[in-house]
Amino acid sequence: MATEQLHGLNSIKEITRTYHIGEIGRSTRLSLSRAKQLKHVINTTLRIIIDHLITTAFKDKDAVRSSVPGLCDQTTQSIEQDIMSCQKVGKQDQQSTVISQTLADLDLNVILDENGRHRVILPGMEEEGPLRVEVVKYWKQRHSLFSRWDEGIRVDEESLFSVTPQEIAEHQALRCCCGRLGDGSGLVVVDAFAGVGGNTIQFASRNFHVISIDIDPKKSKYARRNAEIYGVSERIEFIVGDFLELAPTLKADIVFLSPPWGGPQYIKAEKYDIETMLQPVSGSCLFKLASLIAPNVVFFLPKTCDLNQLAHLSLLSQPSSRYTVEWNYVKGELKALTAYYGDNIAN
Ligand SMILES: C[S@@+](CC[C@H](N)C(=O)[O-])C[C@H]1O[C@@H](n2cnc3c(N)ncnc32)[C@H](O)[C@@H]1O
């Protein structure tokens, strides 16, 4: 409770009032836990006062001059300049180290944008313009995303870190053949969040008829081009649209769900909550929509998903479905998990 109150502090007057509480801490009649609590309050308060003084010093030069009598303009300015330039140099050093590590052994065009940030033109992605240096690590893995990358595959910056690696997509498509000797002929699969076609292409390669939906016209255009490179575009219907709106108009044998996980930040969550972190709607909402389209639903999800939530999904279809969860590795590294719901694909 003490911490909550401190968060609300925003004026020196309030800080001072709270600081007086510290004097009570000297009483020998206080329990150990109360004394610890008060010590924490005092420490936090001191931190806030120091933070406040520092913030004032940088935000308002005049406030520093009046609060520190005798400090002349020149001194204030030179202190400010010194500290600012130290911060700048420190930041630049750090950034340069990250950039040189990322770009080591790569012959890439690095430029500075108008905000002083480094950007790179990536071979095969020239159409996308200069991209953030952070995505270079994903671009380095481009051949595991599409083995035929060098034949002219197109992806946008976002897809570099959201496309399903080919090895995983191949496996998922094979598994969905329901034991039909690796062939999906006569089966229709809806790829509800198709992106640039990582899964769509592998389903079509197994002879499924694919309804490939994405809300982003550019990604859908790239998916078509990529499918042409793999020679499977004639088995694919490309639709630019919102899956949530299109769902009631669709019927299929399988729905494949690979919705956005929330950007690369998802990895920071110790446990991934499919009810609050998936986009554009919760996991259970997506699952319900999909199970009205097809008796089999495949969900491609972060590796840290809560397994209880995945079990709960199986109860949402009518009748409740059997399911299997598998963990997907690429070159020995755990990348994601896939949950298969429905009697035909859960075995
Ligand atoms: C994780 S990516 C899918 C990647 C895809 N499996 C692949 O291998 O290329 C998610 C995709 O969902 C699309 N998307 C987001 N909201 C959508 C919606 N409401 N309807 C259809 N697509 C949507 C995004 O444009 C993005 O391409």
Q: How far is the CA of 268 from the centre of ligand 1 (A)?
A: 21
Residue 20 belongs to a domain: yes
Measured from the Cα of 155, ligand 1's closest atom is 9
pLDDT truncated to tens, each residue of the chain (347 aa)? 222 222 222 333 333 222 233 333 343 444 555 555 656 555 555 555 545 544 444 444 343 333 333 333 333 333 344 434 434 445 555 666 666 667 767 778 788 888 888 899 998 899 999 999 889 999 999 999 999 999 999 999 999 999 999 999 999 999 999 878 889 999 999 999 999 999 999 999 999 999 999 999 999 999 999 999 999 999 999 999 999 999 999 999 999 999 999 877 777 888 999 999 999 999 999 999 999 999 999 999 999 999 999 999 999 988 888 999 999 999 999 999 999 999 889 97
The pTM of this model reads 0.74
Q: Report how far ligand 1's centroid is from the alpha carbon of 257 (Å).
A: 9
The residue from 31, 52, 67 where one domain ends is: 67
Instruction: Say how far apart CA 63 and CA 47 lie, in whole Å.
Output: 19
How many angstroms does the Cα of residue 185 sit away from the middle of ligand 1? 25
User: Does one domain contain both 157 and 274?
Assistant: yes
Long-range pairs for 13-22 at CB < 8 Å and ≥24 separation?
15/45, 15/48, 15/49, 15/52, 18/45, 19/45, 19/46, 19/49
Q: Which of 28, 51, 67 is the last residue of a domain?
A: 67
* Ligand 1 atom at minimum distance from 246 CA: 20
Which residues are paired to 298 by β-bridges? 256, 340
Decide: 200 in ligand 1 pocket, CB within 6 A: no
Quote the domain boundaries for residue 14: 2-67
Does residue 208 lie within any of the structural domains?
Answer: yes
DSSP 164: P
Residue after which a domain boundary falls, among 17, 50, 67: 67
Distance CA 236, CA 243 (A): 16
Q: What is the CATH number of the domain that holds 267?
A: 3.40.50.150
Ligand 1 centroid, distance to 296 Cα (angstroms): 19
Gap between the Cα atoms of 149 and 130, Å rounded? 19
Structural domain count of the chain: 2
Site to probe by mutation for ligand 1, drawn from 158, 214, 277, 301 as the one with most ligand atoms within 8 Å of Cβ, is 214
